[in-house]
Structures are given as structure tokens and as C-alpha cells.
Amino acid sequence: MNADLSDLLRLLQNLIRLGTIAEVKGAKARVRLGPTLTTEWLKWATPRAGSTRTWSAPTVGEQVIVFSPGGDLTRGIILPALYSQAFDAPESSDTIHTTHYPDGAVVQYDHAAHALTANLPGGTATITADKVTSNAPSTICTGDLTVMGNLLVKLATTVNGATTLNGGVNAKAGAAGGVAMAVQGTIKATDDVLAGVISLLKHPHGGVKAGGDKSGGPQA
């Protein structure tokens, strides 16, 4: 009778256990439940595991909960995670949803400030899509901007830094007409400049006279 009661108490104790991740391999992990007890390889719970799948492997030392049906630890399921001294809460605000990564990257949304930020120290961000649309009334780029394809600008654009265009520029006036391109400052060209069919370097002048008289205008 005492043996049966002892087994029952052990099974009840094993229904819900707190522990820390001891090892991770693939989509399974082992959990250290005490100084001398470590589970077999168990699966951990994830938000989605069907046609839509998520992945975020637990970290060694991360505190978790192990749920074991019938108290059988060999059939346990790992439920991440609980804050601990080793991995404390990264934020204290109730308006912030954030993810902190071990390389220092932080993706965060503050719904009180309506601010979405992504800090990727020394990293890159890549978006692959057939089309990307930004409906923001104002977009600011504080660093260099490199466009490998064509750049089509249909409305006014302000560039405060130097602009290098390796594929040429094709400027066309808007539907209301007017000037296609207005430049405030000096234009330098290493080659010829054409106005219609008139060459800046090679156009002839009419009405040329000797002395100090000025020549006539360029001829087409």
C-alpha cells in the first residue's frame, strides 16, 4: 500500500515540473529537473506547427515548464518559458512588445507611441517580393541609397546628399506641363550637351564679324 501511494505521489509530482533546458538538438530538448534528474528528448510547444509553422528554439539555461500526461516524463511536453536570473525580462513597460536576440538585435513595437523599430547591429534586412508599397507620406533615408534597377519618380523628391546615376536620367514634364527639370547651380558635363539638335560643343554661329562684335546665336 505504501509503495502504491509513493508511486501515485511521484506521478502527481511529475504532472507539472519546472526545469531548465539542458540540451537542444533539432526540434527536441532535454530538461534538467533537479540536481540528478534530466528528461529524455522531448518536443517543445510552438505557436503553429501545421501549414503555417513557427520556429524559435529554446536556449540552454532557459527556464521552462514540463507537462507530462499521467505523470510519465517520457511523454512530457516542454512549454517555454519563464523569466529567470539567467534570462531576466528585457522590458518593464506594459505597452511594448519586443524580441531581443543574442547578437544584440531588437525588434520592438510600442503601441502607446505607435512606433515600430528594428535595430540590427552590423546586420542586413532583406525583403523579397514582387512589389513593395509604402503609403507613408514621408520616408527618410539617413544613409546611402543604392538602386540596382530603374528609379521611377512621379512626384517631387528631395535628396540632400550627392546623387550618382550610372544609368542616365530621363526627365519628363508632368501632365500639367511645365519644366521637366530645374537645376539651381552649376551643371558640369564631361561630354557634349544637346538642346534639341543643337550641340553645345559643336554648334556653329552666324553673323560672325571681326573685332569686338558678338556673334549671332547658335544655328541648328
What is 14-82's CATH number? Answer: 2.40.50.230
- Widest distance between CA atoms in the chain: 131
Using CA atoms, how far apart are residues 12 and 14, in angstroms rounded to an integer? 5
Please state the separation of Cα 54 from the chain's center in Å: 17
Strand pairing category for 96-100 and 77-82: unpaired
Instruction: Produce one character per residue of 5-42: b if its CB has 16 or more CB atoms within 10 Å, e if not.
Output: eeeeeeeeebeebebbbeebeeeebbbbbeeeeebeeb
pTM: 0.74
Q: Domain map of the chain by residue range?
A: 14-82, 89-127
pLDDT, tens digit, 9 for 90 and up, residues 34-78: 999 999 999 999 999 999 999 999 999 999 999 999 999 999 999
Three-state DSSP at 132 gives coil
Q: Is 56 exposed, middle or buried (0-12, 13-18, 19+ CB in 10 A)?
A: exposed
pLDDT, tens digit, 9 for 90 and up, residues 149-169: 888 877 777 778 788 878 777
